[in-house]
Structure 1
Amino acid sequence: MRLAIALGRRGLGQVWPNPAVGCVLVRDGRILARGWTGPGGRPHAEAAALARCDDARGATAYVSLEPCAHHGRTPPCSDALVRAGVARVVTALTDPDPRVSGRGHARLRAAGIEVVEGVEAELAHAANAGFLLRLTAGRPFLTLKLALTLDGRIATASGESRWITGPESRRAVHALRARHDAVLVGAGTARADDPDLTVRDLGVTHQPVRVVASRNLELDPESRLGRSAGEVPVWLLHAPGLTPSEGWAATGARLIDCPTGQDALDPRAMMATLAREGLTRVLCEGGGALAASLIGAGLVDELVIFAAGKMIGAEGRAGLGPLGLTSLSDAPGFELTHVQQIGPDLCQTWRRR
């Protein structure tokens, strides 16, 4: 099962809105075939494994999520396992999708196949947290990435930020982008940095969606994002009722209405909007005001902080905007899960308590 879960992780960032599932076929202690969800969500992991197996009769299928039981673009995987003659199916999680939700397990049992559920459930849940959150909470899994000096600054007072961290950390950020469905930034960051927000130099063919939270559409269509929107998707989240400029209409970017709060887009509404569009994993790369609004709303599931051995001082720009706290007990809490030195920098991963 651990191998099936690890195989499924290969699809992270490539399979939305589908889950990233892995499947391993075993008979007499020997692995017959392995499979994982393909780019775009097809083929499913079970179908991929069965296609690589000449004879699965009597085998055990280890699958990191309940096999589907509904007809979509492909027939149900539960039926495929029945036709293949597997004797036993071991799963980690029940699929919360109402089209499945126990029906896959029931179909297998009705065909006389032994079904074992809940194996390595915690590990499988962590691997597919985005898919599960989208279905159960109506929002994607959200990772916040911050590149900071030792004193928590993201830029000098003049806005200079290239480069706080070293090239090794920047390469690690590209790998982080590749494991997410979308990269999100605020309009201020998009204007100041004019970023590409693509995955580069890693040989990937599937790019994340570039999302900008721009309440008033204050972004130049001649920016790097605008000029490349026809090649890699760009979504602009904006306040309802705005009419885009002819320049943005010509770029091919998607403009999506989103409810607003007092002076910005409502963070919960933003995440709900992205979930409705099918996104399961979103990486936010700033700026400080957007990051603070997402943390304040309790929406940040994971923090990835790249800390460089530099100091800028109080006049530098803070990595996080105001949270409006009046008591230390109200401060959002995170638990450290991983620490790694990357080049000259330190990378810390924190999970929300």
Structure 2
Amino acid sequence: MLGAREYMDRALFHAARGRGRTSPNPLVGAVVVSPDGVIVGTGYHERAGEPHAEVRALAEAGARARGATLYCTLEPCCHHGRTGPCVTRIVETGVARVVASVEDPNPLVRGEGFAFLRAHGVHVDVGLGAERAIDLNQPFFTMMREHRPFVILKAATSMDGRIAESPGRRTQLSSAPANRHVHCFRAEVDAIGVGSGTVLIDDPELTARGVYREHPLSRVVFDRSLRTPPSARLHSTGVASPVIIVTTAEAASRADLRKPLEDAGAEIEVARDGTFRAALERLAARDIGSLMLEGGAALHCAAWDEGLVDFVSLYVTPHVLGTAGVELLPGRSFSTSALHNRVVAPLGPDVLIEGYVHRPC
């Protein structure tokens, strides 16, 4: 017979199967264990609007759910959204005990699911596997608690911390294995963000190539003066993946700048006070829960200076660009050794270094 931790490990494994498909909902897994320790049902939330993990696991368990223990990675919901409340189904099926990793930060739930279960005679334990469950759902927790997307600073750098040979010059640093990893990473986030300077210099498409995505990948350009060209390559795939240009009220008021971009298919968002946080709030209103910032240095610095970078993902290459090169965060104090839960992994000739800027909540 497995122990409680092993059952929760199974639930966490199933939760991760929904990566890239559930936004704006969280990743959730569930396992139903009979009184004699047999797993009789498993489930995970596959995509927003479809049955939740608990409901799927209970459906698989059927009558064997009576008297069983339900292991779930997040507090069961207690409100009517696109699906019915999970707590009602849990009570109806006769589950005796619920073991959950963490309370749901959604203000529509936030402990009420546990309270409902306890009021109906279900024993509830909370906390097993909490760190891993939160780690799986950093975008969801950030959206619920801070009303903004989870921000990932991503960059390819030289060994001496440079991202380009010189200002305004396009510099290819990453190897093919690193590029493949980037596209897989892009498949898991809601949006990619770049500054208008990157559009002018690199003219990128900002797509996730060679990987499957459940939903269109939003491409965001942070452009205070609307200098993004209507002819930029990213507009050519705008039907499949929306292009959102975040700008100031002053620039947006100029029809000569705005209309050509809208005619090219771009959607214009106005950051009320021109701050990066205000821009993130506009993206949150679009249900964008995770944003990967791919440069350039000015955009990275804007996010860093406002304390809005949550996670850093650096692809360090075996190049040295020297003092003439553009630093990742010019004039800012930054060291990968200060990252929390840091991971270092080889990717062909490159090395991936990533971790949280702030200790995970």
- TM-score of the pair, normalised by structure 2: 0.88
What whole-Å deviation, never above 9, does each CA across 1:236-287 have from its counterpart, x for those lacking one? 1111141453332234432111034xxxx41222223222332222211111
Q: Which amino acid aligns with 2:220?
A: V
Question: Whole-Å Cα distance in 2 between the matches of residues 279 and 332 of structure 1?
Answer: 29
Match of 1:93 among 74, 95, 102: 102
CA distance in structure 2 between the partners assigned to 1:205 and 1:128 by the alignment: 18
Q: Following the alignment from structure 1 to structure 2, what is the Cα–Cα distance between the partners of residues 63 and 145?
A: 32
Match of 1:26 among 26, 33, 46: 33
What aligned pairs does 1:91-240 form with structure 2 within 5 A after superposition?
91-157=100-166, 159-162=169-172, 164-240=173-249
User: For each residue in 1:12-48, what CA deviation from the matched residue of structure 2 results, as whole angstroms up to 9, or x when unmatched?
Assistant: 4332221121111222322222222222353322223
Give the Å deviation of 1:187. Answer: 1.1
Aligned-partner SS, 2:249: coil
Find 1:351's aligned residue among 331, 356, 361. 356
Contact 2:339–2:355 at 8 Å: present in 1 too? yes
Residue pair 1:291, 1:320 contacting (<8 A) in 2 also = yes
Specify the alignment match of 2:267 in structure 1: 254
Tell me which moved more, 90-99 or 25-34: 25-34
What percent identity do the matched residue pairs reach?
37
Letter paired with 1:246:
K
Q: TM-score, normalised by structure 1?
A: 0.90
Are the aligned partners of 2:170 and 2:202 in contact in 1 as well (CA < 8 Å)? Answer: no
- 247 and 35 in structure 1: CA distance in 2 versus 1, 3 angstrom threshold: farther
Residue 124 of structure 2 aligns to a residue in which SS? Answer: strand
Unaligned runs of 5+ in 2: 1-7
1:54 aligned counterpart, secondary structure: helix
Q: Match of 1:15? A: 22
1:47 has 2:55 as partner: yes
Stretch of structure 1 that moved more, 60-69 or 206-215 = 206-215
Which range is displaced more, 126-135 or 4-13? 4-13
Question: Over residues 66-123 of structure 1, what are the superposed CA-to-partner deviations in whole Å (9 max), with x where a residue is unaligned?
Answer: 1111111211011121222222111111112221111111221222211111212222
| Structure 1: segments with no counterpart, 5+ residues | none
In structure 2, give the amino acid aligned to 1:220.
P
The amino acid that maps onto 1:81 is I
1:271 alignment partner in structure 2: 280
- Decide whether aligned partners of structure 1 residues 336 and 43 sit closer, same or farther in structure 2, where only a CA change above 3 A counts: closer
Identify if the C-alpha distance between structure 1 residues 240 and 332 changes in structure 2 by more than 3 Å, giving closer, same or farther: farther
CA distance in 1 between counterparts of 2:151 and 2:24 reads 15
Q: Give me the whole-angstrom Cα distance separating, in 1, the residues matched to 2:221 and 2:13.
A: 31
C-alpha distance in 2 between matches for 1:204 and 1:80: 31
**Native 8 Å contact 2:191 2:292 kept in 1:** yes
Pairwise CA distance, 1:229:
1.1
- 1:105 counterpart SS class: helix
Alignment of 1:38 with 2:43, yes or no, is no
Separation in 2, partners of 1:165, 1:17: 31
1:327-338 pair list within 5 angstroms: 333-335=338-340, 337-338=342-343
Q: Does 1:341 align with 2:346?
A: yes
In 2, the alpha carbon distance for the partners of 1:247 and 1:39 equals 36
Q: Is 210-219 or 11-20 further displaced after alignment?
A: 11-20
From 7, 10, 18, the equivalent of 1:3 is: 10
Deviation at 1:58, TM superposition (A): 2.3
Report the Cα distance in structure 1 between the residues aligned to 2:81 and 2:343, rounded to whole angstroms: 39
Deviation at 1:343, TM superposition (A): 0.6
Mapped partners of 2:246, 2:144: distance in 1 = 22
Work out the number of aligned pairs and report it: 344
* Contact kept in structure 2, 1:35 and 1:46, CA below 8 Å: yes
